[in-house]
Amino acid sequence: MKKIYYIIAAASMMMAASCAKEQMPSVEGNEPQLVKKTFTADFACETKTTLVDGKKVHWTDGDQISVFDNVNNKNNVFESSNLNGAAADFTGYTVDGATEYVALYPYKFGASYNSTSKVVSANIPASQKAVKGSFDSNMNIALAVSDGSHLSFKNVCALLKVTIPGDMTNVRSLSFITSTYVSGRVDVTLNEDGSFTAAGNTSQNNSFKEVNLDNAGKAMEPGDYYFVVIPGTYNKIYLSVTTTDDEMYTRYSNTTGVVVKSNDVIDLGTVPAAGSKKFKITNLASAPISLEDSWTIGYEIDESYAGKDLTWSNRNTNIISTAPAKITGAGTSGTAEIIFGKRPGIAILNAVYDGVNYPITFDVRPWYRDEPSDWALATTDATMSEVKTTEQGEKYVEITSNASGHGNIKRSAKPWLSPEMAPIVCIRITDVADEGYSSSIKFDCSNFKFNNVSFAGEVGNGNRKFIHKYSLSDGSEVFVYDLSLQTMKTTEIPSDFLADGNVQFKICDFKQSGAAAQATYKFFWFRSFGSLADLEAYLSDWSEDTGLTYEKVK
């Protein structure tokens, strides 16, 4: 029987509250008047993260909370001050005349509150950082309700504890998988008696039945680790182990009806050294997979279990296809090719062998390596040539603007943008400004929607707002945008933003001697990278392959 430990809530500390009636002018005349307000906050169990390592975890400088009121339900950010261990003040602006406040720790962009249905909605990521003796920061959300100026937070999520034994030094990541939504969108319903009920939102595309702990490809030290999960009733539990040798095995339990409540800590026991029925995946990718990439996966089966059918099926919708889909009478080893491409995030492939599902978790990233043919004209009367090839074997197209000097291009498929996964977004073109023209270069986005918030506009909010530029010796330029630093028009892009939409590069307004002019430029590619260092590593390899050179000029 699994061990279940409950965190016992200590008596709430009665704190002196303060509220300064300092008004903030409304942006528009019909907007409610905002007033400055300060809450004193503590935790019902006197710690911010439960008792993970037996030590209290106190408020820290820079902590933020979301505060909603019962007037306009807006997500207001409140900043910490006057830190005193497990207590702190939080100050921000809320609507004058509000009589009820609902607070969420930590502040979550896109979190929402409906004062009619009494439901708070937030997001628990399915991919979490492995932290020895604790869990990924800002994951374990907490909630507080107040009709005054004192907030006493209670944990919304539960923790699943696993222990890596001292002699196991090859664990790269751990995945917990069940039949219940344990990550993604969580809805918290406030009950009349002051309690709350949390559940995964099954109507959302970003709800998942798995949580992954990852150590960035490195071995996890032996010790205790915790998954932050949404409460629920768990059936059929899997624990998948990925090793530093790029192998994976799964331990399966047919346990049903395990009830997990908010603030529970469930001990799943020790990480196993072998999987069920000695079935093992032998060549997982050592790094995240890009959208639309493929991977040839291998397997091994112990001789005593060999000879049964092996089938591959998609646990979620993030895998395009697997070939072959079924291996009749599988031997002791073999391969199958997987193609990814639905969306970034966790992709789960089920290997079904001898009545047991072996869920294989992949980290899919929005890394784009577009060819010219992946783009189309966005300007009427402009022209695009057939794909051409340089002396170095590189593909490009020539775009000639219309008579008004406009030659915009758009991506044929909607891309997924993510400041967290791939913040560096680049376009390689020849710049007609180098030929004596004046011109505009704008990275324009539309129809992106994240956590019910619409995003649209130019990255950097204007013309030539790229933050870096590289000049290549063939006359082309690489213009670099950083989604982690720039806005989309004037809207800040949240770090966990992940959405698809339409993009185009407005390469236009060609003028010469002050008048509109027709001009031609070359378009090579649109690419994204995890960091500026990744881009420069790519350019270094490109330089070595082509014999051409590059220089960072901005």
**Confidence bin at 16 (pLDDT 50/70/90):** very low
DSSP state of 490: T
Cα separation, 103 vs 33, in Å, equals: 20
Residues 120 and 203 in one domain: yes
Question: Whose CA is closest to 144, among 265, 15, 52, 33?
Answer: 15
The average pLDDT across 476-501 equals 94
Average pLDDT, the chain: 86
The average pLDDT across 274-282 equals 90
Please state which of the ranges 12-26, 293-307, 335-349 shows the lowest mean pLDDT.
12-26
The pLDDT assigned to 45 comes to 61
Last residue of a domain, one of 213, 241, 274: 274
Residues 117 and 159 in one domain: yes
Cis peptide before 106 (omega within 30 of 0): yes
Residues 380 and 356 in one domain: no
Residues 54 and 200 in one domain: yes
153-181 confidence digits (pLDDT tens): 998 999 999 999 999 999 999 999 998 89
Name the domain count of the chain. Answer: 3
Residues 266 and 283 in one domain: no
Residues 223 and 335 in one domain: no
Residues 531 and 394 in one domain: yes
The pLDDT assigned to 164 comes to 97
Please state which of the ranges 11-20, 253-262, 408-417, 542-551 shows the lowest mean pLDDT.
11-20
Residues 194 and 218 in one domain: yes
Residues 332 and 453 in one domain: no
* Number of neighbouring beta carbons within 10 Å of residue 507: 27
DSSP code per residue over 171-198: EEEEEEE-SS--EEEEEEEEPTTS-EEE
The pLDDT assigned to 418 comes to 93
Last residue of a domain, one of 365, 396, 412: 365
Please state which of the ranges 309-313, 315-319, 488-492, 544-548 shows the lowest mean pLDDT.
315-319
211-267 confidence digits (pLDDT tens): 999 888 899 999 999 999 999 999 889 999 999 999 999 998 888 888 999 888 899
The pLDDT assigned to 278 comes to 87
The pLDDT assigned to 491 comes to 93
48-61 confidence digits (pLDDT tens): 444 444 444 567 78
Q: Whole-angstrom distance between the N-terminal and C-terminal Cα of the chain?
A: 62
The pLDDT assigned to 374 comes to 93
CATH code, 503: 2.60.120
Cα separation, 266 vs 269, in Å, equals: 9
Last residue of a domain, one of 320, 336, 365: 365
Please state which of the ranges 24-33, 72-81, 139-148, 376-385 shows the lowest mean pLDDT.
24-33
**Structural domain boundaries, residue 324:** 278-365
Q: Please give, one letter per residue, the 3-state secondary structure of 25-69.
A: CCCCCCCCCEEEEEEEEEECCCCCECECCCCCCCCCCCCEEEEEE
- What pTM value is reported for the model? 0.76
Contact predicate 370/346, CB 8 Å: no
DSSP code per residue over 232-297: EEE-SEEEEEEETTS-EEEEEE----EEE-TTEEEEEEEPPSS-GGGEEE----SSPEETT-EEEE
Residues 282 and 254 in one domain: no
108-132 confidence digits (pLDDT tens): 888 899 988 999 999 898 889 999 9
Residues 359 and 398 in one domain: no
Q: Is residue 18's pLDDT more than 50?
A: no
